[in-house]
């Protein structure tokens, strides 16, 4: 088997298993209405996605849904170019706190069964069950006793995405500075701490029977990286990274977020899930976009076809029991690492993914040409 199984378990979308069973009483159900607000057209297929609050979806986490309700386009009532509504319901939930989100798949290319197709594309409308409509803050739904049934939850989907998912290839590594200023390197080295090491990502097009993404050159819905140079305190300077030890290195706060996740050892043997997860953040090298190289200032957001990210030889180890430990330098395991890019729209792309799974492609009769970089070859070696 390939790395896809690991990825699904680790960071990508997992097809939810609805454990609803009317004969099994100790579960909870949720139901309500989805309100979709569009400026033109009618809603496509709707998906209400339920997440564990402790494992939230991007951009605040890398969680996968624990349950899903699908709404056929014909179930929406309302006029074109206005507000439409439809009922939704899920069942079989356990105790816990949940986030409820909505994805209206207006271009009909969402599939929960393949990781590369299980995300919101440009033109889809997204939203959530909200605390209040002013702050747009998602509200947790708490289930503190079983059985339970909570009805009347209104999920509002009013944000139609104008950006595409950030599909990318791993272009290579440089030492000292982003390409073309740095020196190219064959791999990343966890023992090198005195010279910045960069992972260079290149956005790409996807032409596949289940998913078409424009390349970075497209005028609309380009599959570029949406870079935001955060300046939340509005002092004219890009804010320091929220992690103080990263900020001490001069790293800044910006989107996209780039995460490396250990997938296999250097020989390609997938990691044992029982050993927990290793996650390292590679921080976008914002300097490349600012003077003297670039033209952007704090607070700007713009599309870039390339994304250099600084690799720091440190990772968070999340044990199977949830215990978190930071490992640095040689204590960080050598191996092959997957890459996740998270935009602040919540859109993500993961390499490797099912596009590069040759066995899966053969099973479904898909063409694998052009997708080798989306398979195991796209894993990043860290020695």
Q: Residue 154's beta-bridge partner residues? A: 33
User: Nearest approach, Cβ of 353 to Ca ion (angstroms)?
Assistant: 16
Cβ neighbours around 152 below 10 Å, total: 8
DSSP classification of residue 78: E
Measured CA angle at 268 (ends 266, 269), to 5 deg: 110
- Tell me the closest approach of the beta carbon of residue 4 to Ca ion, in angstroms: 21
For residues 162 and 221, the answer to whether their CB atoms sit within 8 Å is yes
CB closer to Ca ion out of 104 and 141: 104
Pairing of strands 277-284, 77-78: unpaired
* Nearer of residues 107 and 171 to Ca ion, judged by Cβ: 107
Cβ closer to Ca ion: 52 or 287? Answer: 287
Residue 66 CB, nearest distance to Ca ion (Å)?
A: 21
Least distance to Ca ion from the beta carbon of 157, Å? 13
Helix ranges, the chain (H): 4-10, 244-247, 358-364
* Cβ neighbours, 10 Å, residue 348: 25
What is the smallest separation between the CB atom of 366 and Ca ion, expressed in angstroms?
19
Identify which of residues 110 and 296 has a Cβ nearer to Ca ion in the complex: 110
**Residue 49 is encoded by which pair of tokens?**
């996605």
Of residues 109 and 339, the one with the C-beta less far from Ca ion: 109
Question: What number of H helices and E strands is found in the chain?
Answer: 3, 25
Pick 231 or 281: Cβ nearer Ca ion: 231
* Site residues for Ca ion per CB under 5 A: 105, 107, 109-110, 121, 124, 231, 233, 235, 237, 239
Least distance from Ca ion to the Cβ atom of residue 380, Å: 28
Supply 91's token pair: 């069942």
């Amino acid at each position: 088997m390939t790395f896809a199984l690991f990825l699904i378990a680790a960071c990508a979308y997992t097809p939810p298993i609805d454990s609803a069973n009317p004969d099994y009483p100790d579960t909870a159900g949720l139901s309500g209405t989805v309100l979709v607000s569009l400026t033109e057209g009618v809603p496509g297929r709707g998906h209400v996605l339920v997440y564990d609050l402790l494992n939230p979806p991007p951009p605040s986490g890398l969680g996968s849904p624990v349950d899903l309700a699908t709404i056929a386009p014909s179930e929406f009532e309302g006029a074109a170019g206005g507000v439409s509504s439809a009922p939704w319901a899920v069942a079989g939930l356990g105790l816990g706190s949940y986030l409820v989100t909505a994805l209206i798949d207006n271009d009909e290319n969402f599939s929960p069964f393949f990781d590369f197709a299980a995300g919101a594309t440009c033109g889809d409308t997204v939203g959530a069950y909200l605390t209040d409509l002013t702050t747009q803050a998602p509200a947790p739904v708490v289930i503190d006793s079983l059985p339970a049934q909570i009805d009347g939850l209104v999920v509002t989907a009013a944000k139609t995405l104008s950006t595409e998912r950030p599909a990318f290839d791993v272009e290579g590594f440089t030492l000292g500075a982003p390409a073309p200023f740095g020196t190219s390197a064959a791999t990343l080295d966890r023992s090198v701490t005195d010279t910045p090491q960069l992972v260079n990502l290149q956005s790409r097009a996807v032409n596949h029977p289940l998913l078409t993404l424009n390349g970075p050159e497209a005028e609309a819905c380009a599959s570029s990286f949406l870079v935001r140079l955060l300046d939340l305190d509005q002092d004219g300077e890009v804010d320091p990274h929220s992690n103080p030890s990263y900020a001490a290195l001069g790293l800044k706060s910006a989107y996209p977020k780039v995460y490396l996740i250990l997938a296999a050892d250097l020989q390609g043997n997938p990691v044992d899930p029982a050993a927990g997860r290793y996650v390292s953040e590679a921080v976008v090298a914002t300097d490349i976009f600012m003077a003297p190289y670039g033209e952007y200032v704090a607070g700007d957001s713009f599309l870039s076809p390339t994304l250099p990210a600084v690799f720091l030889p440190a990772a968070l180890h999340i044990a199977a029991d949830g215990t978190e430990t930071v490992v640095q330098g040689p204590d960080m395991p050598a191996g092959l690492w997957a890459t996740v890019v998270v935009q602040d729209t919540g859109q993500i792309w993961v390499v490797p993914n099912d596009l590069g799974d040759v066995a899966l492609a053969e099973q479904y009769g898909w063409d694998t040409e052009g997708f080798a970089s989306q398979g195991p070859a796209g894993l990043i070696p860290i020695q």
